[in-house]
Chains A and B, each alone.
Chain A
Amino acid sequence: MVRISTTIYLIDHYANNLNSPMHKASTLSRLMSAIVVLGITIFTNSALALVAEFLIILTFIAAAKLPISRLLSWALYPAFFASLFALSQIPYSLVLPIITIFKAINAALVMLFLISTTPYPELFSILSIPSKTLGNIAFLTYRFFFLFIDQTGERFTVMKARGGLAGSWKTKITNLAHFIGMLFITSFETSESMYAAMKTRGYSGSISHHKKLRQKFGKQDLMPVAFVLCILAIMVVSTFFKAWRVFM
């Protein structure tokens, strides 16, 4: 639980506090570049192209001043499950498992690259375009979510410090059930306090504020554009040079 909150905090920290050309790009260009690269990853069936794409993604992650090893370690979670599936493909082909694993890693890396360079409220402010309510939900959940993981972390530490995880499995499960119950009550109280605070600040059911999405495209968007162009170049090369296919 503590590990999950640390990961979330780290991603939030990278998105908010790092300063790279990718972080400076407009929300829309980052989001669109990620969608395009994700689409290419899904539809590519060339192992070499996927390996090359993987290397390019890593290059751009480094250029965005993000820690490659950490992002790679997070991307390995889906890769692990993909490898289980890949194992079943080995009797039929040696290339297919490579494609399966790299598709999983690349897709995970692209998404991690996006969320590590784009703060959550900016990313989800796009929801305010189709529905203002969805945008408001995203706006409000951000702070509440971090309050929640803080409370969860604090209570979990207290429970551990008081020996809550030291007894038999039966005791541990009972303590965890109490922990979840207390967490529910605390979260409910927090939401009530937050609502009272919002009421005193004029909240009456709707918020109109998602300024960061409305950035215009410009020079700052060179990096996301370069990212997409590099990936597209690989796909073009892999499609047109039949010689590559000989190896696959």
Chain B
Amino acid sequence: MREIVKVNCIKHRYADATEVSVCGLSFVIHEGERVAILGANGSGKTTMLLHILGILEPTEGEITVFGEPPTKSSLHGKVAMVFQNVDEQIIGPTVWDDIAFSPLNYGHKPDEVKNMVDEMIRELEIQHLTNRVPHYLSGGEKKKVAIAGAVVTHPKLLILDEALTGLDTRSQMETIELLNRLNKKRGMAIAITTHESRIIPRVADVVYVISEGGIIFRGTPLELFQKPEVFRKAGLEPSPLIELLKTLKNQGFEVEVSDDLEEAKRQILKLCKIDSS
């Protein structure tokens, strides 16, 4: 698969002299890949994303997006982002206006814009929100509108900054399902930052763990969950499910460590000699 993002040890100095660096392992996103960036608050996740978007420029280090520096205008429309606080992202006075914001700015004709927005609204099943005013929407609805506004231009990469934080479980699941659907249907790569390890298996094929200014881990969710020391180093909580299965395995029980809830349930019931069917 083709590399679409590559980050090599970047450093950024903010105006207040705070220095944030993301070094260690290289950060790479491939075409169509689902990537999670796990790290505690203040670890540099958002700084890295803002560099990928070209909003920040590194004081040191190298970053390429689709083989070019991310500040190049040729990348417009290829990379989209859903911010942590979607209220600051939704600009239009109505949902329709907001989704139309990017296509209009990228110079599409009014008829094209109408088709793009209507198609997006149908795809995300938010027809009931079309003429609603954003500040009367629930958190989950706002998140969907923000995603619609971001992906309406069919970007190749969607970046989400703590996009699932603050949502109730149902809205989280709906958003995850929506993201996975967009990933499968469009082949759109997704990069999501989070500090909640329990959502990782549902949203990512590859996980990066950032801690103390460096990428300390790269691997699949399952590989990550088998290394509780990585979680400890990053100041995060490991998955209770994996911890349980590992403990059982260490104590001599015949179980395979898995991040799949159904599989874990089957194995535990088997140990207890209860027929799960």
Chain A residues with CB under 8 Å of chain B are 12-13, 16-17, 119-121, 139-140, 142-143, 146-147, 150, 190, 193-194, 196-204, 207-209, 211
**What residues of B have a CB within 8 angstroms of the CB of A139 in the complex?**
92-93, 97
In the complex, residue of chain A having the shortest beta-carbon distance to the beta carbon of B88: A193
Q: A143 to B93, Cβ gap below 8 A?
A: yes
Give bound CA distance, A121 to B133, whole Å: 11
Give bound CA distance, A169 to B104, whole Å: 52
Shortest C-beta distance, A201 to chain B (Å), equals 4
The residue that A143 contacts in the complex, of B50, B90, B149, B153, with Cβ under 8 A, is: B90
In the complex, residue of chain A having the shortest beta-carbon distance to the beta carbon of B132: A16
Question: Given A193-B85, A194-B88 in contact, is the A119-B93 Cβ separation under 8 Å?
Answer: yes
**What residues of B have a CB within 8 angstroms of the CB of A203 in the complex?**
101, 105
**What residues of A have a CB within 8 angstroms of the CB of B102 in the complex?**
201-202
In the complex, residue of chain A having the shortest beta-carbon distance to the beta carbon of B159: A200
**What residues of A have a CB within 8 angstroms of the CB of B265 in the complex?**
none
Q: B150 to A201, Cβ gap below 8 A?
A: yes
Can you give 23 A-B contacts (C-beta < 8 A)? A13-B136, A16-B132, A16-B136, A17-B136, A139-B92, A143-B92, A147-B88, A150-B135, A193-B88, A194-B88, A194-B91, A196-B50, A197-B81, A197-B89, A200-B55, A200-B80, A201-B105, A202-B101, A202-B102, A203-B101, A207-B101, A209-B100, A209-B104
Verify if B231 is at the interface (C-beta below 8 Å from A): no
The residue that B106 contacts in the complex, of A140, A147, A196, A202, with Cβ under 8 A, is: A202
Tell me the interface secondary structure of chain A in the complex.
Answer: helix
Q: B85 to A202, Cβ gap below 8 A?
A: no
**What residues of A have a CB within 8 angstroms of the CB of B94 in the complex?**
121
**What residues of B have a CB within 8 angstroms of the CB of A143 in the complex?**
90-93, 134-135
Shortest C-beta distance, B188 to chain A (Å), equals 15
**What residues of B have a CB within 8 angstroms of the CB of A120 in the complex?**
93
Shortest C-beta distance, B115 to chain A (Å), equals 14
Verify if B83 is at the interface (C-beta below 8 Å from A): yes
Q: B92 to A204, Cβ gap below 8 A?
A: no
**What residues of A have a CB within 8 angstroms of the CB of B62 in the complex?**
none
Verify if B53 is at the interface (C-beta below 8 Å from A): yes
Verify if B233 is at the interface (C-beta below 8 Å from A): no
What string of 1s and 0s marks CB contacts (under 8 Å) between B32-73 and chain A? Answer: 000000000000000000100101000000000000000000
Q: A142-B93, A193-B83, A209-B104 are in contact. List 12 more A-B contacts (CB 8 A).
A: A16-B133, A143-B92, A147-B135, A150-B87, A193-B88, A194-B89, A197-B91, A201-B102, A202-B153, A207-B104, A209-B100, A209-B101
Chain B residues with CB under 8 Å of chain A are 50, 53, 55, 76-77, 79-81, 83, 85, 87-94, 97, 100-102, 104-106, 132-136, 149-150, 153
**Residue of B53, B88, B92, B149 with highest tally of chain A CB at under 10 A:** B88
Shortest C-beta distance, A194 to chain B (Å), equals 5
In the complex, residue of chain B having the shortest beta-carbon distance to the beta carbon of A125: B93
**What residues of A have a CB within 8 angstroms of the CB of B77 in the complex?**
202
Q: B55 to A196, Cβ gap below 8 A?
A: yes
Give bound CA distance, A208 to B103, whole Å: 10
Shortest C-beta distance, B121 to chain A (Å), equals 15
**What residues of A have a CB within 8 angstroms of the CB of B133 in the complex?**
12, 16-17, 119
Shortest C-beta distance, A42 to chain B (Å), equals 31
**What residues of B have a CB within 8 angstroms of the CB of A201 in the complex?**
80, 89, 91, 101-102, 105, 149-150
In the complex, residue of chain A having the shortest beta-carbon distance to the beta carbon of B113: A209
Q: A140 to B76, Cβ gap below 8 A?
A: no
Question: Given A16-B133, A119-B93 in contact, is the A197-B105 Cβ separation under 8 Å?
Answer: no
In the complex, residue of chain B having the shortest beta-carbon distance to the beta carbon of A193: B88
Q: Which 5 A-B pairs have the closest CB atoms?
A: A202-B105, A121-B93, A197-B89, A193-B88, A201-B102
Shortest C-beta distance, B103 to chain A (Å), equals 8
Give bound CA distance, A140 to B93, whole Å: 8
In the complex, residue of chain B having the shortest beta-carbon distance to the beta carbon of A140: B91
**What residues of A have a CB within 8 angstroms of the CB of B79 in the complex?**
200
In the complex, residue of chain B having the shortest beta-carbon distance to the beta carbon of A189: B88
In the complex, residue of chain B having the shortest beta-carbon distance to the beta carbon of A143: B91
The residue that A200 contacts in the complex, of B81, B87, B136, with Cβ under 8 A, is: B81
